[in-house]
Structure 1
Amino acid sequence: MKDNRIFKVLLIVTASLILMVAMCLSASAEEIVLPDIISDHMLLQQGETIRLWGTVAPGEDVNVKITANDAMVAETTVKADDAGAFIAELPTMSPGGPYEIAFATKTSTKTVSDVLIGELWIQSGQSNMAMKTKATGDYAAEMLPKEPINDIRLFMNAKDQGTEERQSNLAGEWKIADAETVSTYSAMGWCSLKVIYDELKVPVGGICNPVSGANMAQYTPPEVPGEPGGKYFNTKIAPILNMNVRGIMWNQGSSDRTKKDFTERFNTLISRWRNESKDDHMYFVYMTLAPSAMKYYASWLDDYQVRDNSLARLRQIQTYYETEDTSFVVSIDRAPQPTDKDPIHPLNKKPVSDRLGRTVLGSVYGKIENWQSPLYKTSKKNGKSVDIILSYAYGGLKTTDGEAPRCFKVAQEENVFFDAKAEIINENTIRLTCDAIDDIKYVSYSIERHLFPYTSAQDAVMHTYPDVNVVNSENLPMAPFYVEVGEERAEKVFDNFATVPQRVDIEVAEKGNDAAEVLENPFSDIKLEDAFYEAVLTVYHKGLMNGVGDGEFAPEASLSKAMLLTVLSRMEGIEAAQDTSWYAAAAEWAKEKGLSDANSDEALLAPLTNLEMSTILYAYLQGGETEQIDPTEWLIRNFIIKYDLDDNALVTRAQAATAFENMTK
């Protein structure tokens, strides 16, 4: 009897435990799980579809909502697949923030806060990209920010693990840039992002996921979908394929330096990354290999090694000519210093990283000119001499020390090289002569294996680097080359520039802060209880709009095109001419900017419809661009106007004042 009672108790306890476990598993299955890349302080790519993903219970509906100060920005609802995975797509947004993203199912919610919209880059490769700022010794002090920079967001993944299967999560967390977070982020990644941010003046972000010693095959996805890819592609790139980015900053190549098919491997990597990301024009900006150490002592092998990057560097440069939307940085002049810890990892990362940032600004955004190093263009014989013609000399070639150009070799027979005397004869031409040979057929510049020939580590020269000194007017070093005389290389055209509109900042509301009440109100027809009260007074005190006379603003009166163009011109600091109509200067300015071609008084003084105002405001905010999108929808998403108004209804002065106030924030 006693045994039966014990058995019953055990049965009840066991059943209870099973029920509790089932309930826990059920609750766990229904929770919203997001990858680490979708978390507080994240940055999303502006101007591209926003993709957000995660897992919930299979078949569950997931509502995804983006808000700012509780105001709706974008919303969608998607259904999870049979495995519980979901991916939500939301409309493009302009740079700015902060925003909040809420994920909700019937039983679970999750919120991601302090989200910015801006320019997002993946920064990858191997050890020189992986080197953290704090590892650069005394150079770190110059790189670390003195104050936090809220507009720069950093996501660092430094784990080197690779797997045979594609992973769904890239481990890490988003950080706001400050001295502490930058110290543990890639020195090269940070410095390049800072250069971009200083020029664009919009939020920027980096996802840094390099692996020391990795080769390109390990980063390359499979040719056939579904087959295993490289182990570091599986862990470093596959988990973030859903996320739109502007492009890739890449610093890799040493581990592939002996591969004769280096260029083909590199082109393949770029092509497959673009294919996997569904972005055929994803920008790829890369570092060429640093100067070769040649012979050096490898402590981990307890032996001397030869590290000859010279041919791999030429093969890197070849990708620039073969693959669109690529650009590169020359670093042949930045050899490690005697104080550096080893001969293959220069500690002073800032100079080349700044070049990387400027190369992005020039080749991707078209924001700066004269960003390229001099490149070989062609060569021609001149008697026994050979003239080398360079592209991108800009204001003219020169040497850094005032001496004759160095590191040129010439040959009559391939691979039998002699020193050449070099002379800059005009702004883009260098003349080479050599008394040792009668007929120069091959020319090389800054090729280590030609400058310091060797057969093995035993006869290689210890720690020898090319002593280059040729630069253009921007002090950018000439790129290495090895050519047959007469060979030509076309100049690459850069015109596929990314558009970066003006930022839209969201002022985080603070309780008890009512700035409108302290503004003087000169208008008898504007009352404190009016929804447009603060907007009208703000634009009035900023000198953008005036009253209509007799102490009135006329909030319900229609807005004319002349008034709209005048306000926009005032935002640009353009003053009305004294000897013409009050709107003549504004109309002329608008015509030059492509905002309006109205010439007659009748056209300029006619009242505007909502659609007409939206079209002009969109074009103004996009720098004259008139993409085929709904301008009203775009203005709503970017908080310029709050409601989807009737396109054909006339704009009131109060509605216009509200839009102008939002534009000034």
Structure 2
Amino acid sequence: MSSKNLKAAAVFSNHMVLQREKNICIWGTYTSESTSNTITIELATSKAKATIKDGTWSAELPPMQAGGPYTMTITDGTETITYHDIMIGEVWLAGGQSNMELKLQDSKNGKDVVASVDPALASKIRFYNVPQQSYFSDDYYNIEEATSWELCTPETCGTWSAVAYYFEKNLATTLDVTVGIIGCNWGGTSASVWTSKEYLERDIDAKTYLDEYEQEYAQFNSYEDYCAAVEEYDAWYAVWQKKVDALYTENPDILWSKVQEIAGMNRYPGPNGPKAFFRPSGLYETMLSRVSPYTLRGFIYYQGEQDDCKPTIYGKMLRMLISQWRNDWHDDTLPFLLVQLPMFINREEEDRKHWPQIREQQMITHQTVKNTGIAVILDLGEFNNIHPLEKEEVGRRLALQAFYHVYGMEVSSYGPIYKNRVIHDNTIELYFEHANDGFLVKGDSIIGFEIANENKEFVPAIATIEGNRIFVTSEQVAEPKYVRYNWTNYGPVTLFGKNGIPMSTFRTDRNA
């Protein structure tokens, strides 16, 4: 519900979920002089006041226990905004790129899930999708104001993030409270897209994203030339994509090189400039900042694919992003749950072993940054498909991380994670965390271990399990020094914890 001068941020609407047991931040704008200069917010029996300053206002309502539905009113004494059907429960923000964005209806069994939504579950989960707008267009604020929190129905939930849907399903079922997700994601985006220019400028490596953007945009003589190039690209892309779709419809197994030979070389994602969704800091400004600091329990985050061109600095980028988001939400302790990248390689693509580097950086971030979790999904990747369709298990493993780290439950949430090693003559003995009850081998044998001596020339190795330890050896390496496991973009995954969660990619020496 809107009024003439008094407005709340677009993320506040009917059916919203507000975070339980925390101060609830409410904010908005005021576009003219107010006689009272004060805004009053009431929710159930709680009341707070805000002072209008420079056209904005914000206030905090005191913590509330889970419950509802409630009504909220915001008034300046003349104009009043009223929101209905508000629930107090758990709120998480789902960030990242295309694998977080992938819609429930497009995931494995998604259409059946959407068509047969369980009414008991539907009453406990809600969703707010931040509108995907890459720049502040003339229609930006109208589009934003048209958004609202959605109830879970067959007409709505199909467009929700599949990972987020299954995450909140697990939370709502186990915690028995209403769970709300704020979806803030866009395919093909680097971590730099979701971080402010101020933060990127602080670091020499992170700043390369800004420098490259400036170089690419400098190719245009003017903003008008850039806009013309965008129009040309959009027109070309529409025609090109139809050709590509037709080729895959005719022959689903056609090689990508053949597709481009026939349809033309791929020019995606187009000209880089002030309208580009992939420009550094862009979506941070037009999407993420529009919903901060909405009171949250924490973040779930699935991203990294787009940063595989700079895998060695990804850990730095990720830690910077976590710091940025926590700073924006005024809480350095906000939980941040990562999804580690799975196995993946495109057909015809050389294995440059940059995805295991990303996985390693994600694990290091989890191990060194407080209040983080990591969902290892090495086994859920698909060959030649960067968007694996099995999202239910991704959401479940994220929920296990939340239960363990955030809600204090004794659940088995990890597969084996490398801890340290001992070298014995021609064998290396490996120790692991989260492997006290041993390992589960899927398949005829353990695949993926490699071993090397001082020369760092790795060869396939034989791995033998003894209780909660693994011994690695090879006849080709008499004096081994290094071991690595599944250090590849794509390959079979055979080693798991007894809980069915796979062992994560690792190497015993990061310089090997």
Instruction: With the length of structure 1 as denominator, give the TM-score of the two structures.
Output: 0.60
1 CA distance for matches of 2:109 and 2:470?
38
Correspondence 1:50 to 2:24: yes
2 CA distance for matches of 1:171 and 1:445?
49
Give the counterpart of 1:190 among 157, 165, 168.
Answer: 165
Correspondence 1:417 to 2:458: yes
Correspondence 1:127 to 2:98: yes
The residue type equivalent to 1:61 in the other structure is T
- Which secondary structure state, in structure 1, belongs to the residue aligned with residue 333 of structure 2? coil
> Which of 440-449 and 124-133 deviates more?
440-449
Once the two structures are superposed, what CA deviation does each residue of 1:615-635 show, in whole Å capped at 9, x if it has no partner? xxxxxxxxxxxxxxxxxxxxx
Correspondence 1:387 to 2:362: no
Following superposition, the deviation at residue 196 of structure 1 comes to: 1.1
Following superposition, the deviation at residue 224 of structure 1 comes to: 6.5
Following superposition, the deviation at residue 394 of structure 1 comes to: 4.0
Once the two structures are superposed, what CA deviation does each residue of 1:335-367 show, in whole Å capped at 9, x if it has no partner? 226xxxx51111121112211111111121122
2 CA distance for matches of 1:244 and 1:58?
28
The residue type equivalent to 1:257 in the other structure is D
Alignment match, 1:368: 410
2 CA distance for matches of 1:111 and 1:47?
23
Following superposition, the deviation at residue 183 of structure 1 comes to: 0.8
> Which of 142-151 and 410-419 deviates more?
142-151
- Which secondary structure state, in structure 2, belongs to the residue aligned with residue 333 of structure 1? helix
1 CA distance for matches of 2:342 and 2:146?
30
CA spacing shift, 1:263–1:414, aligned 2, 3 Å: farther
Give the counterpart of 2:39 among 41, 44, 62.
Answer: 62
Correspondence 1:232 to 2:251: no
Once the two structures are superposed, what CA deviation does each residue of 1:496-536 show, in whole Å capped at 9, x if it has no partner? xxxxxxxxxxxxxxxxxxxxxxxxxxxxxxxxxxxxxxxxx
* Greater relative CO, 1 or 2 (CA 8 Å, sep 6+): 2
2 CA distance for matches of 1:158 and 1:483?
43
Correspondence 1:322 to 2:368: yes
- Which secondary structure state, in structure 2, belongs to the residue aligned with residue 430 of structure 1? strand
Correspondence 1:433 to 2:479: no
1:422, 1:432 within 8 Å by CA — same for their partners in 2?
yes
Once the two structures are superposed, what CA deviation does each residue of 1:220-255 show, in whole Å capped at 9, x if it has no partner? 124469999811111221112221111110000011
How many residues in Structure 1 have an aligned counterpart in Structure 2?
A: 425
Once the two structures are superposed, what CA deviation does each residue of 1:3-46 show, in whole Å capped at 9, x if it has no partner? xxxxxxxxxxxxxxxxxxxxxxxxx9953222221100001111
The residue type equivalent to 2:74 in the other structure is F
Alignment match, 2:246: none
Following superposition, the deviation at residue 375 of structure 1 comes to: 0.3
Alignment match, 1:80: 52
Following superposition, the deviation at residue 312 of structure 1 comes to: 1.2
The residue type equivalent to 2:453 in the other structure is Q
1 CA distance for matches of 2:308 and 2:364?
14
- Which secondary structure state, in structure 2, belongs to the residue aligned with residue 467 of structure 1? coil
2 CA distance for matches of 1:360 and 1:288?
15
Correspondence 1:466 to 2:437: no
The residue type equivalent to 1:199 in the other structure is T
Correspondence 1:39 to 2:10: no
Instruction: With the length of structure 2 as denominator, give the TM-score of the two structures.
Output: 0.77
2 CA distance for matches of 1:397 and 1:137?
28
Following superposition, the deviation at residue 420 of structure 1 comes to: 0.3
Following superposition, the deviation at residue 140 of structure 1 comes to: 3.8
Once the two structures are superposed, what CA deviation does each residue of 1:354-389 show, in whole Å capped at 9, x if it has no partner? 111111111211223221121001111233111111
Alignment match, 1:407: 448
Following superposition, the deviation at residue 294 of structure 1 comes to: 4.8
1:286, 1:328 within 8 Å by CA — same for their partners in 2?
yes
> Which of 200-209 and 137-146 deviates more?
137-146
Following superposition, the deviation at residue 274 of structure 1 comes to: 1.1
The residue type equivalent to 2:18 in the other structure is L
Residues 408-557 of structure 1 aligned to structure 2 (within 5 Å): 408-426=449-467, 428-448=468-488, 465-484=490-509
2 CA distance for matches of 1:305 and 1:111?
56
1 CA distance for matches of 2:498 and 2:351?
37
Following superposition, the deviation at residue 282 of structure 1 comes to: 0.8
1 CA distance for matches of 2:317 and 2:97?
16
Alignment match, 2:245: none
1:296, 1:343 within 8 Å by CA — same for their partners in 2?
no
Give the counterpart of 1:246 among 293, 297, 312.
Answer: 297
Following superposition, the deviation at residue 268 of structure 1 comes to: 0.9
Identity %: 26
Question: Tell me, which stretches of 5 or more residues in structure 2 are unaligned?
Answer: 203-209, 211-279
Following superposition, the deviation at residue 440 of structure 1 comes to: 1.0
- How large is the Cα RMSD of the aligned pairs? 2.8
Following superposition, the deviation at residue 202 of structure 1 comes to: 1.2
1:93, 1:117 within 8 Å by CA — same for their partners in 2?
yes
1:162, 1:231 within 8 Å by CA — same for their partners in 2?
yes
Give the counterpart of 1:101 among 52, 72, 77.
Answer: 72
1 CA distance for matches of 2:156 and 2:282?
28
1 CA distance for matches of 2:410 and 2:288?
30
2 CA distance for matches of 1:48 and 1:346?
36
Once the two structures are superposed, what CA deviation does each residue of 1:476-495 show, in whole Å capped at 9, x if it has no partner? 1001101139x9xxxxxxxx
Once the two structures are superposed, what CA deviation does each residue of 1:606-665 show, in whole Å capped at 9, x if it has no partner? xxxxxxxxxxxxxxxxxxxxxxxxxxxxxxxxxxxxxxxxxxxxxxxxxxxxxxxxxxxx
- Which secondary structure state, in structure 2, belongs to the residue aligned with residue 355 of structure 1? helix
- Which secondary structure state, in structure 2, belongs to the residue aligned with residue 122 of structure 1? strand
2 CA distance for matches of 1:395 and 1:203?
35
Correspondence 1:284 to 2:336: yes
CA spacing shift, 1:139–1:124, aligned 2, 3 Å: same
Following superposition, the deviation at residue 213 of structure 1 comes to: 0.6
The residue type equivalent to 2:400 in the other structure is R
Once the two structures are superposed, what CA deviation does each residue of 1:565-616 show, in whole Å capped at 9, x if it has no partner? xxxxxxxxxxxxxxxxxxxxxxxxxxxxxxxxxxxxxxxxxxxxxxxxxxxx
Once the two structures are superposed, what CA deviation does each residue of 1:180-208 show, in whole Å capped at 9, x if it has no partner? 32211000110011111111111111001
2:377, 2:501 within 8 Å by CA — same for their partners in 1?
no
Question: Tell me, which stretches of 5 or more residues in structure 1 are unaligned?
Answer: 1-27, 68-72, 298-303, 450-464, 488-665
Give the counterpart of 1:343 among 374, 385, 391.
Answer: 385
| Larger Rg computed on CA atoms | 1
The residue type equivalent to 2:38 in the other structure is D
- Which secondary structure state, in structure 1, belongs to the residue aligned with residue 181 of structure 2? strand
